[in-house]
Structure 1
């Protein structure tokens, strides 16, 4: 049998702040609320509940930030996949504007929490640039900037010359910059949320997968291997792209796509000044978008879509390495120190979903690749709902769990679509 590809530590694992002290749960305990998953959503929910004096136990199958929360690109981008006017069209004026305001404030919450709790998180907040890679993308970015500008966001349109100057690449014909965005060390942030939650009174158990949820006499029993059990009034499930069969058919409501990333060797001072010289983070208007930034160690990070399967070898990142050299010719031949990937949860409508399939059970799933801010804010909203029972605290209404039709075939279908996009996405660099 072939041996699995030996993955290197990600850049984030290699440079993160120390791991908070946790232990495996192997006894029985009680809580007001049990939370499954120690990513941004679960940890933010735990923090905001614990600050209210509510007894919280967090159960994580691996380690804090093991999933997408510790393996994303570290870009903190406000908003959703839809523009504000699209949200109004989907949900009506009042609900749509409220959702847009929620989404527009997600980046603020991340940076506010880092400051409030003095988290050891390398960060920058110079804004997010969305570059238009072809002329047809210019109308999209103009419309987006106009709608957010009308709602008070610090945005501006970039012409071709300014986009190329701020990005350090001649591959874009224009774009827009949103001053609310920024970048963080994402695993350090997850660990910072965990420390803050622990300080507020939450208990976090790692290496503790949840195997079963059962409800008896109005309370939930959350079972773990080795005899560990949490009895709680409420359960919040925040497993996102790593969702398995814990609740019937939940995993069939998403496509867990892998997002692949590479990081170069540290750049010289001259090279650093030639790429994203003012410290912006960036992603573009491609259907198969590229996202890139400089990190706190002076490396260029490039991210994009890769195979749905787990990687088999370093060749699974070769397309991103080629893109770095084509987008930034000055980096050709520089070499790469890190290659890694993490799963994002894609829903059919490209929106996060909230489910309440049984009394006292709340499920949050679907980040569409914007999880840093979105799931942090979702955690705060879910904590408000759990504490008060007020569904108006939630940015979205509950929806039923609706598996994707022919779910088992969706990866094949999406893989075919990705291949088509690579062939037809104007200005593609691969």
Structure 2
């Protein structure tokens, strides 16, 4: 008998609306655009393509929101990991404006469609644990402030008031940001895409994708095929090697572990994140946390590359929770998901073949970014609109990709050591 057995259940799955009915695909068909993947990126692409008048088929191997889209922390954070000045130099001011507007895009879409996903625009705090973090945080905030963003600096006292913990030396709040229920959002986007005329099919894994005669051909089990002029690969960290070998090896598929506590008391709610903000730490291997459904405190962070097997595999995350808010919190939910990371923390938007777009590697910014990127990819395919980031002409696999659990694990230990040595 396994000691300390693990029962996984996300707070999102426990509190989500009923999943939409996405029937399996039972016969071959044809479309203008095929979307592979039913996460935020794929659902947003299908929705906006259908609204533009395109005939769209979306194929999802599991259910809508099965992957990172339905298991993440639900933090709606604008921007990318690079600072605005770097984005200007890297991809141009249009990319910086797109990145800075991703939260606006998502919240506007939720409002327009009336998606009930517990969306709250309470801001996002990026927190510095050590004095060495503060200069970089202040510079980042100042760059967004210079571009008109509603941001503000929080000193140690203001951080304690905003978060309810004295763990931080300072930080900044971005009031463009907020939080929501990610699985409810995925379900809502799926229903909206169906209402717009997109054909969505779950339990429909694509076994092969080939191009001939100017058309893409997706082959499913049983000889079923989908023919389309264009295709969007929106599988991100869940790309099977048989679908696109290079895309499946272009990112490090890391595990993010999360826990949620029993509901907080009224006294705790008055102290812990009373303004409704969500928080991410700036540490190299830090945590992110917020108050979630049923007033439960949620915290997540980098886990092992192996799937957790025991409740004790979450002990490090529970220790982080205790360090922030003291011992005694009762954990009611534990879960994990796979996220796509890149060595330089930059996403990969690629146009590797005629009529194909693929994007991966959202590096912790996926909620707002993937929805906004899906909208932009749809506009590009349906109307010829410029993409916000110049697409790469191919997808480059990471060297020694099969060894990522080894070198990734070593890197995490190294970064944790550096975090401890910082002052």
The one of 184, 189, 193 aligned to 2:189: 193
Partner of 2:133: 137
The one of 208, 212, 221 aligned to 2:217: 221
**1 CA distance for matches of 2:245 and 2:408?**
23
**1:417 and 2:411 correspond:** yes
**2 CA distance for matches of 1:272 and 1:230?**
51
Partner of 2:265: 268
**2 CA distance for matches of 1:315 and 1:427?**
26
The one of 385, 389, 397 aligned to 1:403: 397
Where do residues 318-397 of structure 1 align in structure 2 (5 Å cutoff)? Answer: 318-329=315-326, 332-390=327-385, 392-397=386-391
**2 CA distance for matches of 1:136 and 1:32?**
52
Give per-residue Cα distances to partners, 1:44-65, cap 9 Å, x unaligned. Answer: 0001000011111110000100
Partner of 2:44: 44
Runs of 5+ consecutive residues of structure 1 not aligned to the other structure: none
Helix, strand or coil for the counterpart of 2:318?
helix
Shift of 1:151: 0.2
Which portions of structure 1, spanning 4 or more consecutive aligned residues, are displaced by more than 3 angstroms?
A: none
Q: Retained in 2: the 8 A contact 1:26–1:226?
A: no
Q: Retained in 1: the 8 A contact 2:258–2:300?
A: yes
Partner of 1:288: 285
The one of 225, 231, 250 aligned to 2:227: 231
Give per-residue Cα distances to partners, 1:187-225, cap 9 Å, x unaligned. Answer: 000111111111100111001100011222111111111
Shift of 1:399: 3.9
Shift of 1:413: 1.1
Give per-residue Cα distances to partners, 1:53-86, cap 9 Å, x unaligned. Answer: 1111110000100000000000000000000011
Distance change >3 Å, CA 357–CA 7, structure 1 → 2: farther
Partner of 2:9: 9
**1 CA distance for matches of 2:390 and 2:308?**
35
**2 CA distance for matches of 1:201 and 1:6?**
41
Shift of 1:296: 3.1
Q: Retained in 1: the 8 A contact 2:352–2:392?
A: no
**2 CA distance for matches of 1:44 and 1:6?**
34
**2 CA distance for matches of 1:27 and 1:205?**
11
Give per-residue Cα distances to partners, 1:308-327, cap 9 Å, x unaligned. Answer: 12112112211111111111
Partner of 1:87: 87
Q: Retained in 2: the 8 A contact 1:134–1:426?
A: no
**2 CA distance for matches of 1:33 and 1:323?**
45
Helix, strand or coil for the counterpart of 1:187?
helix
**1 CA distance for matches of 2:146 and 2:15?**
39
**1:176 and 2:150 correspond:** no
Q: Retained in 1: the 8 A contact 2:255–2:336?
A: yes
Q: How many residues align?
A: 420
Q: Retained in 2: the 8 A contact 1:78–1:180?
A: yes
Shift of 1:2: 8.8
**1 CA distance for matches of 2:71 and 2:129?**
26
Shift of 1:427: 8.1
